[in-house]
Structure 1
């Protein structure tokens, strides 16, 4: 007998099962959702519970009601984001890869800089940058927007000796993005290491990402290396977990 019990309300359990079908693509974008009677039978739940579950997923923009027709899966599938696409410097004179990658998907990408300052970073960032207990780093804190909607919250930290008196310490946007600037400074990004965690959003993340109630986020802790494995950037990236997937293409040795 299983020791662990799912203590969530029935509506949340049903919503979780349906959410998995949408995120996996088993229920395709634009597909009509089974009737309430069918869902009631499938999930051994009351009609009120099914309605609550569907409303949860409507609030998350995973489902949408169409007057006189029924409930449908949203037209846009969950987006697969390939993190390595954003590491390489942009072509000379080209836009930041966040903008060009968004354009390739038919979207408008932009960034809103929230803060740029010299700080004592979190412990794991300090460890990655090999800082002393009182060591500092340059923080660039921003929101990435897709079609004017918040898509990610990013805190990027740079070695202070590398960042001072450069555009990395300037609150203005960096032409071509930080990978391009770092390459121009003689530190081309060569490699990145990601740690991915799924968790509940902090209060700040909930507000900045304009999240529906209690949806998970994906947190990517990223270390970017240049030549000789010099650490040139450490980032904490947080994305809404109900609308984004991370895609990786890794060589097999």
Structure 2
């Protein structure tokens, strides 16, 4: 393979042959010899280079796909997976200055990183909360909430889904119940209603995605997600929103500034 020099197999290694081949291809991807969108050498080419059976090559390629490094396209071959632009979750992303500039957190942060943000799949319903949401909001399980579900994209690639739950008594009849919540997003609307925000609590977990999350975020096999639950509190300590978010882990860096006091 003159265009992609690959080392030979180490006969003295106790590492399985298919894993050695996967190691070679992974290293080629990591050093840029195989860039995003490039086609990986075909099974026939790899069989000829390594002198092994087709199943050995397929096992090696499966390792890379399970790691989220490649994607197989039927009838075309295996390609290095293109990763979405990384959005850094900074500790000041919900700063009031962004809302005063008319930008919701996702828009402000994505544009600041040079990306093009967009939102689709917006659905708004009034419903009864789950026990967890009711507990976080400090309301009864019989109290209705407004649920705003949406999907976020950067440069056209889906990176995140989110559902915000707001007590219906606060949001009913306001722009929060409309698909376009207006400049600054729902936090700006809550503050206009007199619920001045003071702080947010977040819990972040990492897990493998559910089937519908794989479809919504177009995740490659082996790519986990961040599951983040955020609660927004007013200056008097009232919880006014809970946001349940699922994010593609290869589209985000979690970056926080923590005081040392």
Q: TM-score range by the shorter chain?
A: 0.7 to 0.9
Deviation at 1:180, TM superposition (A): 1.6
Alignment match, 2:202: 194
Alignment match, 1:252: 260
Alignment match, 2:160: 152
Instruction: Select 1:133's aligned residue among 134, 141, 144.
Output: 141
Alignment match, 1:226: 234
Deviation at 1:125, TM superposition (A): 0.8
User: Rg: which structure is higher?
Assistant: 2
Q: In 1, Cα distance between the equivalents of 2:180 and 2:22?
A: 42
1:166 aligns with 2:174: yes
**1:229-240 residue pairs with structure 2 within 5 A?**
229-240=237-248
Q: In 1, Cα distance between the equivalents of 2:220 and 2:81?
A: 17
SS at 1:51 equivalent:
helix
Gaps of 5+ in 2: 1-16, 36-45, 51-55, 73-78
Backbone CA RMSD of aligned residues: 3.8
1:184 aligns with 2:165: no
- Is the contact between residue 88 and residue 179 of structure 1 (CA under 8 Å) also seen in structure 2? no
- Is the contact between residue 141 and residue 154 of structure 1 (CA under 8 Å) also seen in structure 2? yes
Deviation at 1:77, TM superposition (A): 7.2
SS at 2:141 equivalent:
coil
Q: TM-score, normalised by structure 2?
A: 0.70
Q: TM-score, normalised by structure 1?
A: 0.72
Alignment match, 2:42: none
SS at 1:90 equivalent:
helix
Instruction: Give the count of matched residue pairs.
Output: 223
- Is the contact between residue 144 and residue 150 of structure 1 (CA under 8 Å) also seen in structure 2? yes
**1:1-253 residue pairs with structure 2 within 5 A?**
27=30, 30=32, 48-57=58-67, 60=68, 62=69, 78-82=86-90, 84-86=92-94, 88=96, 90-253=98-261
Cα 1:31–1:221 change in 2 (3 A) is farther
